[in-house]
Structure 1
Amino acid sequence: MGGLLSSPASGAGFTVASVEELLERVPALTVPPASPALASARVLIIGGSIGGAAAAACLRAAGFRHVQVVERSEGLQAGAGIGMDEATVAVLKGLGVPLATTATRSPEGAVVLQRMRWEEERLASGRTVLRQPLPYFAARYAQLQQGLIQRLPADSVSFGRKAVRLEETFRGCDDHPDGTAVRVHFASGEPIDCDFCVCVDGPRSGFRQLLQLDSGKELRFAGYTGWRGVVNEADLPETARDALHAVYPLYGNCLYFIMSECGRGHAVLYDLGDGLLNWLIYELRPQGPVAEPGRTTSAASSADVRRLHSEARRVWGEALGAIIEATPEPFWNDIYDIAEPLESFVATEGPLAGCAAVLGDAAHPVTPHMAKGSNMAVHDAFTLAAAASTASTPAELLASFSAARAQETKRCVLLSRHLGWLRNGQLQGMSGPPRDEATFLELLSKAKLPTRTLPVGGDFEALWRHVEAQLPQEQRGYFLQREESGTLAVPVAALRGSLEVTQVNHVSRETQDVARLARFYEEVLGFERLPRPNFDFGGVWLRLPGSDSQSLHIIEADPELQRKPPPLLDSWLLEGFPERHIRRSHHIALTVPDIEKARSTLQAHGLRFAENRVPGKPVVQLFLFDPDGNGVEIGNFDAR
């Protein structure tokens, strides 16, 4: 890949051609006709975002005559900038969605595309680490959603309808003589019956759980949050515009990933087209997400914005720093993905087995580090509709769809997660960002996953023939490598390292009567007392005679804590419980040899924890909850 640091002449048609030429070369993917047995099926799509609208458009293109979309929001979503890979563009071409190259020449309702044919990994100081061709375009989220919805009959899309429950119903009456169907209930209004439904209700999908797909597979806070901003280049000061093009010479045709050299995460910069510049900054946040529970985005306070501005030039350089300062109303976007990717997208047990599935972010919440979220949803939609050509029942259709997509999307979720850790400097053993291509690729290989960005198999093979015809193998970079080597059975924790626990240090028991409980352990069970630091609450430390390490800590119960914390769903977070609720309640304490390494490891896992120092000793205690709300204490208890 050493030849990727300058535009390859033989691949110029892939990287530096005009948008019109690039669009002309992308093959159109046309959905094959559905089997006659399925074309008359009634389909309900729950969710009208890009994934839901694409699913409906693809099913309609396949010949399904009865497709409805219900969306809980009151209208189209604003969104921000997105990257669209060539597989998505090929699907849009096949659907007849109008694609344009500039807003001034575009037909009404067109999706305006901007070139994004290079991807560059670089340091904030300006040093290029790696540059490679990228099969992408940039677009606006709202335009893509609108372009897909316009492919649907106006009366087939309903806004302001929140689906709340699915149930099995039987087609055993005169109207429905041939079997099982699904009844969808809403927060208001009449229910809708369908032969199968596709739930596209976003990363916090309530139907993922209802379909019994997400046992142990909750959302995982990534341990960092994103600043997001969009600014019109014309509104930048002239000096900032000049610096932008001098420091980022491929701006307008490149997706830049900019790695901090002072442990502050990484940034993203690209041209949205129509004069708009899109940037993101991923900021490490061990204290947990910014937004309130149940939400992903949050407005930034004036104090947050002042801090962002005060650090922008120092951390990200003069060019990007000036852009950040000139951007109106940047906002927070917490980063999540699914803790353990789903193995199936279809209900296989219970009354809804074979007649309901999840798609898009509802099936595979993913971090944004491969620009895959909206793309995977469109790929899902095409695959779902294409599967109808050989299936004869909804159950066969959904099973075929899941089999074709589950492993591919699992790979993307895990690879995107790994790339986030790599660019943030969070991988085990990293002391800073990679400073050259060889080191970057070595760290990338630790994921043990295929690194391609385009899907493979079926009709998607046309995209690979398109790539192979334009780019020699040695110029393709890791996003366009076709190798299937590697395994998806990657222990996720191993990518960041696990704690080096040497022993169980002590077990704690809380009580309303310290003296009575201590007397029982001493007089009945033969424990002996140990010296105890002068904490600000009562307690007794005990051990069995002859034991040098493990001990029993009897602790005076906290009168303000009336109940055990509930099970925690998002990344094992404290969720507002202060560390004393672990110190003075049931917990297990584990000894580690290096408390700084332990702290870094917990941060890399995206875990929120509290910290305390033992009075009179060099011992540091870290407190966190496990997924069931049980307290865990980690400490360098051997420190002298």
Structure 2
Amino acid sequence: MARVHKVLIVGGGIGGLSLASGLRNRGIEVDLVEVKQEWTVYGVGIILQCNAIRAMAQLGLVDRILDAGYAYEGMGHYTAEGEFQRMLPGERAAGPEYPPNLGISRIALHQVLSSTAAEKGTAIRLGVTVEKLAQDPEGVSVMFTDGTQGRYDLVVGADGLYSKVRSMVFGKELKPRFTGQAVFRHNFPRPPELDHLAVYYGHHHNSGLCPLSKDLMYMFVTSSEPGNPRVPEDQLAELMRDRLKEFGGLIGQLREQITDPKQVVYKPMEVIFVPESWYRGRVVLIGDAAHAMTPHISQGAGMAVEDAVVLSELLAEDAPVGALLSRFMQRRYERCKFIVESAIQIGEWEMQGASHADRSGVVKKMLEVIAQPI
């Protein structure tokens, strides 16, 4: 019989909501608090590779996820001019009946995760987060920002890059680092021929197109942004077009359609990797709170959902919490470290203009690693 009966999840993003469903599947009581008053979702679309699809299947979420997105087979590499170079096939890690990859809008993904967590019985409160934590050998006493209190067997910090839980428990010295790059994103209608992830490699920037649904896709372009400048919102369309000026082919055609700055999503790339155990007593970090990465290999969501699978599986066991969290680290630390470092390496090559770098080799190795069981 499990010794963990009640868990608090701080943060209602991909990792937190996935974990809520995983714990409820095992009969564990779950409270989830999210600091936002309304569940607004930042971003355009997201890529779920084979490991994320497998993890969603393990959580019982995969059918709803697949219905809400666009399944595709592999990743095509192209020159900046649009010339096809090679296709990297995906792995069917979830089983032959499931696709190797899925593009999905962030709004659609959030709707699936949040509605499912609520249906499974997660007690969700918006506009609330943790004010104080007090641990003892038997549990964690929590004071919330609305003045209410709670008592839990475990607290999970799934509150993202600027995690308040991480700051409270691990210290304020652990802060995200700006890598020197940013990413611009914009949605477009999807032409029928764009049925895979297409990545275009330029000398100064890299761009790509990812299908999200029958009718929708998104474009991204990564760029060096020294000093992490504050970008005026009314200039986002102009700046995105500028970062795409070396591209021809379909990217070049679409570039001229980027005119409304409100349709452009801009995000500086920031990373953090907690270089030690991600738990202190009965408080543990998952997802971006522990290992935020750049989007170069599309694994931020995948690693967060894998965290949820492993942690929900372990917490259902009859063992001391400390022993379970130690096993969580054994299964997650090196895998996540490899993924974070691989993504950072590709970004550094891009900023150096290292066109000779073996980016395809890094991606192939990543695909081999994520196909392995967690």
TM class, shorter-chain normalised? 0.7 to 0.9
For residues 308 and 145 of structure 1, what CA distance do their matches in structure 2 show?
26
Per the alignment, residue 106 of structure 2 pairs with 141
Per the alignment, residue 200 of structure 1 pairs with 158
Return the offset for 1:155.
5.9
Residues 152-301 of structure 1 aligned to structure 2 (within 5 Å): 152=117, 153=120, 156-168=123-135, 179-212=137-170, 215=173, 217-233=174-190, 251-252=194-195, 254-261=196-203, 263=204, 265-290=205-230, 300-301=233-234
Matched residue type, 1:399: S
Give the aligned length: 359
Structure 1 residues 165 and 268, CA gap change in structure 2 (3 angstroms): farther
For 1:96, what is the secondary structure of its paired residue?
A: coil
Per the alignment, residue 305 of structure 1 pairs with 237
Structure 1 residues 454 and 278, CA gap change in structure 2 (3 angstroms): farther
Structure 1 gap segments, 5+ residues each: 1-35, 101-108, 171-178, 234-240, 292-298, 348-352, 462-640
Q: Which has the higher contact order (CA 8 A, sep 6+)?
A: 2
Q: Among 104, 108, 116, which residue is 1:151 paired with?
A: 116
Return the offset for 1:53.
0.6
CA contact (8 A) 1:50 1:378 kept: yes
TM-score normalized by structure 1?
Answer: 0.52
Q: Would you say 1:45 and 2:43 are equivalent positions?
A: no
For residues 55 and 199 of structure 1, what CA distance do their matches in structure 2 show?
11
Structure 2 gap segments, 5+ residues each: 91-99
Per the alignment, residue 426 of structure 1 pairs with 352
Return the offset for 1:201.
0.4
TM-score normalized by structure 2?
Answer: 0.86
Q: Percent identity?
A: 22
Per the alignment, residue 440 of structure 1 pairs with 358
Matched residue type, 2:38: G
For residues 196 and 258 of structure 1, what CA distance do their matches in structure 2 show?
44
Q: Would you say 1:326 and 2:257 are equivalent positions?
A: yes
Structure 1 residues 310 and 397, CA gap change in structure 2 (3 angstroms): closer
For residues 467-503 of structure 1, the C-alpha deviation after alignment (integer angstroms, 9 at most, x for no partner) is xxxxxxxxxxxxxxxxxxxxxxxxxxxxxxxxxxxxx
Residues 1-40 of structure 1 aligned to structure 2 (within 5 Å): 36-38=1-3
For 1:59, what is the secondary structure of its paired residue?
A: helix
CA contact (8 A) 1:257 1:266 kept: yes
For residues 545-573 of structure 1, the C-alpha deviation after alignment (integer angstroms, 9 at most, x for no partner) is xxxxxxxxxxxxxxxxxxxxxxxxxxxxx
CA contact (8 A) 2:201 2:207 kept: yes
Q: Would you say 1:343 and 2:276 are equivalent positions?
A: yes
CA contact (8 A) 2:181 2:224 kept: yes
CA contact (8 A) 1:111 1:139 kept: no
Higher helix share: 2
For 2:334, what is the secondary structure of its paired residue?
A: helix
For 2:336, what is the secondary structure of its paired residue?
A: helix
Return the offset for 1:307.
4.5
Structure 1 residues 77 and 398, CA gap change in structure 2 (3 angstroms): farther
For 2:217, what is the secondary structure of its paired residue?
A: strand
Q: Would you say 1:128 and 2:128 are equivalent positions?
A: no
Return the offset for 1:390.
4.0
Matched residue type, 1:162: T
Structure 1 residues 287 and 94, CA gap change in structure 2 (3 angstroms): closer
CA contact (8 A) 1:49 1:77 kept: no
For residues 365 and 256 of structure 2, what CA distance do their matches in structure 1 show?
38
Return the offset for 1:42.
1.4
Structure 1 residues 214 and 410, CA gap change in structure 2 (3 angstroms): farther
Return the offset for 1:184.
2.0
For residues 273-307 of structure 1, the C-alpha deviation after alignment (integer angstroms, 9 at most, x for no partner) is 1311201111111132436xxxxxxx6323x4334
